[in-house]
Amino acid sequence: MTATDMARLIDVELDETIGRSTPDVEHERAVAIFDLIEENSFRPVGDEGHGPYRLKISLAESRLIFAIARENGDEVVTHILSLTPLRKVVKDYFMICESYYEAIRASSPSKIEAIDMGRRGLHNEGSQALMDRLNGKIEVDFDTARRLFTLVCVLHWRG
């Protein structure tokens, strides 16, 4: 295995603290997890070449808990991240997504494109904020941060 094969996630599990939602939301969560596993760069800081990794995500009191284990299940580290710094961008992202879905049904292509540009910009902002929260804990590239941010958003989406 190459170093790239080692510094990656091979499994993402949502524990029971996440709670279940509507079939549409569950589908979005499954897609977000699939996309994240399909292509990612993920390594706990200080854990050189000991992956690939499994990630179990849970929520406790407005905190996101990342329990990281090796492929064989041996625990590596658990990081607890406050979601408070992400709350505003997640809320704004949901609002612009609603506008985008409404625009798709009734607006001109130029308006849809403008809203989509704003949506992507907010997604990038949230991804960067998540990368900043993970700094010094977990090394991820920007594309992985984007996929993680998508997953964080769908964890909060109620449908």
Beta strands per DSSP E along 5-146: 9-14, 42-44, 53-60, 63-70, 75-82, 138-140
What is this structure's pTM? 0.86
Beta strands per DSSP E along 4-152: 9-14, 42-44, 53-60, 63-70, 75-82, 138-140
Number of domains in the chain: 1
Domain span at residue 104 reads 3-156
Per-residue pLDDT of the chain (159 residues; tens, 9 = 90+): 566 678 999 999 998 888 777 787 788 889 999 999 999 999 999 997 689 999 999 988 889 999 999 999 999 999 999 989 888 998 998 888 888 888 889 999 999 999 999 999 999 999 999 999 999 999 999 999 999 998 888 877 655
